[in-house]
Structure 1
Amino acid sequence: MSEPTDTAVPAIDEILERTRVVSLPMATRFRGVDHREAALIEGPEGWAEFSPFLEYDAPEAATWLAAALDFAWRPQPRARRDRVGVNATVPAVSAAEVPDVLARFDGCRTAKVKVAERGQTLADDVARVRAVRDALGPEGRIRVDANGGWNVDEAEHAAHALSEFDLEYIEQPCATVEELAQIRERLTDWGIPIAADESVRRADDPLAVARAGAADILVIKAQPLGGVRRALAIVAEAGLPAVVSSALDTSVGLAQGAALAAALPELDYDCGLGTAALLAADVAEPRLAPLGGEIPAGRVVPAAALLDEHAASAEREAWWHARIRAAHTHLTG
């Protein structure tokens, strides 16, 4: 089998021959789903993951496929560290459920808390964050993620309501770069940094947020940004500190995120790469879950028995194959 050059894309038949599609049950419902589907691809350099969320179209999914092919077919940039500190991730659960969620993240002293969930109120968010602060104690670090769910006025009101919990930062409080710039200016005196996620990974121009002075921190993900190399280039050009996060990946995908985190020249924040703890099952044994608040930086090889046990149905496998074909056509077209 031929190995591609830096710009070549492997043939679609070869990719599909090397692909396994899995469906993994969630321990906690997240992003409206209770199973996580993913296509895992074994290339000459090892295994990679292709798992754009189901609603993403072919042009957007093509960037995720480029990342998977890069990780599976090409050696990766040099690692500067062999372990990566990670945060706990708390979905939009009730305050009473918070201790059970945090218990899955061994040794994590940082927690990212989902807020601005549809159908919930700011009071729900305050209660959830208060429960996290009570669990972590005064030395724990708390960041909240609104996924662009507030307008500027709502974000300002929420930031003030949550400020008593000593937030590390607010991630994507508003949807647009212009709104992020406005809320960042309004919160300057409050000392609450703004992190940009969707405004980087789902943007035609991922550097626009940095040029606009709309964020203090970039949240970067290997898959949505086209792979480790492209993500590193974006961080270097933006000139902002970065937090590496995941897209609710299997352990295979988390290993790609860990490769990105390990290659960053500076890594001042715990990373959102502990999300295997949100899965009720995984493809690796042991899974790439937090231990002492860290995960190792290294490739993961899925277990054949687990690939078989969690194989998607024939219908879902065909759906993912069609999706890979569409993304591949976009890459090569």
Structure 2
Amino acid sequence: MQTTSEAEMTSVTHAGSPEIATVRKPHSGRTWYPYLLIAPSMLTLVVVSLIPFIYAIYLSFHEAKFGRVKDFIWFENYGALLSDPRFWNSIGTAVTFVAIAVPIEFMLGLAGAMVLNQNVKGRSILIPLLFMPAMMAPIVVGLLWKIMLAGSWGFISFNVFERFGLLQETSIFASPDLALYALIFVDIWQWTPFMMLAFFAGLQALPLAPYRAAAVDGAGPFQIFFHLTLPMMTPLLAVIGLLRFIDAFKVFDTIYILTGGGPGTSTETPSILANKMTFEFWNIGEASALAVLVWIAFFIFCNVFYQVAKKRLNAF
């Protein structure tokens, strides 16, 4: 039988004795396992996006018309495109479209999310209904609004425009002055619910402790919104705003269905112009140059936006 001092010495000895750690070498298969998981997505991106884009760059430096790729002509396609007023008109149309549609969608979406966050009655029914416009295919949206605003027999055309003596015997999409604004209205109708739901999800994820502290300090609703909600929502607002900006600039489906870029070139965006260059004018070289220029512009814009949002807004 050990004495107390011997037991203490034994426990100290055991406690102080270094444990022999078993060093396991990582399994050789685990080094490539993460790459195996992302391989299908990367392969799809390479086949669907990267290879066609590299080929578009190749075509932009060649005389490619009527399905035939001919001589290497350096930057002639880019020069012809930049000197074409139709190209700059399409850029202006897209900028106008984005500058009006996206801020309205942003503000309406944020306001609607704030309302939904107040536990309004019927929210469980309203939220699934808000998914409907975003779930609809853009072509279906275009056909729906083409019927609603068609000539003098469309539902809205007949009940609103005809009754108040506006745009009689014609369609709003046939008006060079109003067609673009009609497209903006359709885009707002389709994507405001999506923005609302995205912002509502962000509001639901905010911590409650800062709001309780603000209520104890006697802060008002506007102070809480501008000093608590907006700063904490900034990362989500920046990401959703950037994605919606990019998507709105390259919109194609609804414009193609509703106006096809007309009347004239009043609703012709870069996407519509590139489609016409390729499948109507068969000027594939300039169409490829247009795609490359738009990509370069977005690459620069997204990098600048990322740096500004990261440093000043702490969004990334």
TM-score (norm 1): 0.24
Which protein has the larger Cα radius of gyration, Structure 1 or Structure 2? 2
Taking CA–CA contacts closer than 8 Å with sequence separation of 6 or more, which of the two structures ends up with the larger relative contact order? 2
Higher helix share: 2
TM-score (norm 2): 0.25
